[in-house]
Structure 1
Amino acid sequence: MSDEVALLVADIYEAAGALRRSGEATAAAEGQTQARWQVLSVVSEQPMSVPSAARRLGVARQNVQRIANELTKDGLAVFTANPDHRTSPLLALTSDGRHVLEAISARAYASHRRIAARMPEADFAAVRTLLHSLTRAVRQLDQDDPDADRPATGRHPH
């Protein structure tokens, strides 16, 4: 069974790479990168601090800060005062930023429709169910003992 898990993990990484390349091409068609698209998207519903956006995206705060600075320089986002934290402003989209995000999203939707046309809808539901179960299992394992699967030499002293 562990061989099947290893093969599944390899397949997931391969699929993630293909989706990442597709996302990069989608964003590039609007003069953006996938990373910029993700930051535009995460702050599109409501302004958010850089640390909050980074946590939501699961990436380093420094990367989001760099991208946020680029987006503001390009007029796609602005920093506004954060009433809850004086030193951590909120990042919000400008109307140009909303327009770019809408254009990228429309391209992504068209791409998703083309992908969906190549596979039965039931397959998507089954894969999503499996991925949710896998994610839950990995998170539970990490919560039980995050160092359990590391070799003894790689363990951090407590």
Structure 2
Amino acid sequence: MARSRTPEGDALTELVLPAFELNGEFLAAAEMITAPHQLTPALWQVLGATMTEPLPVAEIARRVGLGLARQSVQRVADVLVAQDWAVWHDNPHHKRAKLLAPTETGREAVRAMAAEQHAWADAVGAELTLDELRILGTLIRRVIDASRVYRAQSPFVVG
């Protein structure tokens, strides 16, 4: 017999669909911002990870998170290089793991999108108070962390 959830478990379950909807909304906003620049949200995300320092694909995958596998990041990085938004550099710490770095074209694209992202964030953020946004961010982080701890301890881990 399946055990019933606690009230907290019920409340968390009620957040799942709105969280998916929020993720979809964030992706739609990212598509709106990137489309005029011939980029996609995934290209923007990977390119953005390299703005402060050249990085190997595995490190980009770790930093970007969101479940992107190293192979997916590699494919996105290869597109960035093919489109002249990024280049490969030798990695002094690893012969095979090249470092991805933005070209000036890539930097210009990210700078151009920044103004549009700022306008979107300012308009959407204005609908809540600063305290509400900070509390929401803290609570989301706590749910993510608690889920990761549970998954790490679960005997049902796949992969």
On whether the aligned pair clears a TM of 0.5, the verdict is yes
User: 1:143: how far off?
Assistant: 2.5
Mark the CA change 1:146 to 1:12 in structure 2 (over 3 Å): closer, same or farther.
Answer: farther
- Which residue matches 2:69? 60
| Distance of 1:29 and 1:119 partners within structure 2 | 28
| Distance of 1:18 and 1:62 partners within structure 2 | 25
For the pair 1:76 / 2:85, whether they are aligned, the reply is: yes
- Which residue matches 1:138? 147
| Distance of 2:105 and 2:120 partners within structure 1 | 23
Corresponding pairs, count: 150
- Which residue matches 1:33? 40
Mark the CA change 1:36 to 1:85 in structure 2 (over 3 Å): closer, same or farther.
Answer: same
Q: Which amino acid aligns with 1:5?
A: L
- Which residue matches 2:3? none
Q: Which amino acid aligns with 1:50?
A: V
- TM-score, normalising length from structure 2? 0.87
- Kindly provide the CA deviation profile for residues 60-87 of structure 1, in whole angstroms up to 9, marking residues without a partner as x: 1221111111111111110011111111
- Which residue matches 1:110? 119
For the pair 1:5 / 2:20, whether they are aligned, the reply is: no
- Which residue matches 1:152? none
Structure with higher strand content: 2
Farther off after superposition, 74-83 or 137-146: 137-146
Q: Which amino acid aligns with 2:131?
A: A
For the pair 1:89 / 2:89, whether they are aligned, the reply is: no
Q: Percent identity?
A: 31
- Unmatched 5+ stretches in structure 2: 1-6
| Distance of 1:40 and 1:146 partners within structure 2 | 36
- Kindly provide the CA deviation profile for residues 91-128 of structure 1, in whole angstroms up to 9, marking residues without a partner as x: 00111110001111221111100101222222211211
For the pair 1:47 / 2:15, whether they are aligned, the reply is: no
RMSD between aligned residues:
1.7
- Unmatched 5+ stretches in structure 1: 149-154
Q: Which amino acid aligns with 1:99?
A: E
